[in-house]
Amino acid sequence: MARKFKVAVLPGDGIGPEIMEQALKALDAVGEKFSHEFEATEALFGGIAIDKTGEPLPKETIEICKQSDAILGGAVGGPKWDHVEQNLRPEAGLLALRKQFGLFANLRPVKLYPALIDNSTLKKEVIGGMDIMIVRELTGGIYFGQPKGIMESGTKGINTMVYTVEEVERVAKVAFEIALKRKKKLCSVDKSNVLEVSRLWRNTVEKLAKQFPEVELSHLYVDNAAMQLVRNPRQFDVIVTGNMFGDILSDEASMLSGSLGMLPSAAIGGKIGFFEPVHGSAPDIAGQGKANPCAMVCSVGMMLKYAFDLNEGHKAVDNAVSTALAKGFRCADIAKPGEKTVGTREMGQAILKEI
């Protein structure tokens, strides 16, 4: 049955607009293939929004998002806004958007494309067959806890890591449910040997586990988890962790798949989901047409699955990326020394052809 969806499109800064252009082409191709209609409405977000309106997440953008079925984000930030007041920075806009829409669960899949097995800095024998889903708590923890700020005439900086039982429960539930559909293994990552907030996290996950007897639950301290990820990543199926630990571990894990330029993400839990690549705005290569659009395109794939329940569309996008890679198309970030590289457009075109 043909369906119609409204998508708020926030290209953002740096390479954001370039990769978004390719992602929207992929979205249109999926629409054509499966006879669905996607209506995209662009809005200002991040540094460009600061330049034009004075704030990173203007009211008008929030309105456009509210009237949509899903939100697609490019990337935000750049050196131009590094000296802007903390709560008006592009990144603050991103945090506000996550909070505003109640997007407490961030899914960051890390998988290995067979064509990229030689791209990882780790040995084939270590990463072959790796397939991990990181579930990062996204609207709590040290990113949002009070008190925070720079005080005592600039001599003291404070952030506070806070979690309530309710916050831990709801994100852990998402992780258990995802694990049920996968290899039924869940590893909860914390720092409960030192932090009280982590002790509460661990106890809460333990209690919830009783509702999911089929899922094998384990716990790791975050320092150990960071080490285990590069020692033996295949031991992991689903990982659930707090906001900052998840931020750090997902960047680390991205290198297992070859490049941060390959990792998409889905922020869910509210009425409207937000889909964005894990990587940043890469100001150093912005406007040069060489950014890898794969993570952005795969974020469209995640939107199809998690926001619209269009599993076929999701598979079509993932397979298209996989096939384009298998045919040898490589952007600079995933090319081996001496290998021929293509730009953002050509990569987008190569993926499009496979959809």
Q: Which of 191, 221, 237, 318 is catalytic?
A: 191
What minimum distance in Å lies between the beta carbon of 329 and ligand IPM? 26
Q: Which of 247, 290, 318, 333 is catalytic?
A: 247
Choice from 9, 44, 94, 334 touching ligand IPM (CB under 6 A): 94
What the block records as the tokens of 80 is: 């131009």
38 vs 143 by CB, closer to ligand IPM: 143
- According to the binding rule CB under 6 A, does residue 247 interact with ligand IPM? yes
Distance CA(322)–CA(117), nearest Å, equals 12
Annotation says 51 is catalytic: no
Q: Given its phi and psi angles, is residue 12 left (phi above 0), alpha (psi -120 to 50 degrees) or beta?
A: left
Tokens 């598979």 identify what position?
315
Residue 148 · residue 159 · CB < 8 Å: yes
18 vs 247 by CB, closer to Mn ion: 247
Q: Which of 223, 309, 315, 353 is catalytic?
A: 223
- According to the binding rule CB under 5 A, does residue 247 interact with Mn ion? yes
Choice from 69, 91, 167, 354 touching ligand IPM (CB under 6 A): 91
**Distances in Å between the alpha carbon of 156 and those of 89, 152, 161, 274?**
21, 6, 17, 34
Residue 147: is the preceding peptide bond cis (ω within 30°)?
yes
Give burial (CB, 10 Å; 0-12/13-18/19+) of 138: buried
For strands 70-75 and 4-12, give the pairing.
parallel
H or E element, residue 197: helix 196-209
Which range, of 87-95, 163-171, 228-236, 303-311, touches ligand IPM by CB under 6 A?
87-95
Instruction: Report the residue number whose CB is nearest to Mn ion.
Output: 247
Annotation says 28 is catalytic: no
Site for ligand IPM in 267-306 (CB under 6 A): 278
Annotation says 223 is catalytic: yes
230 vs 244 by CB, closer to Mn ion: 244
Choose the contact partner of 91 out of ligand IPM, Mn ion, none; CB within 5 to 8 A by kind: ligand IPM
Amino acid at 7: V
- Name the residues that contact ligand IPM, by CB under 6 A: 77, 91, 94-95, 247, 278
| Active-site residue set | 143, 191, 223, 247, 251
- Name the residues that contact Mn ion, by CB under 5 A: 247
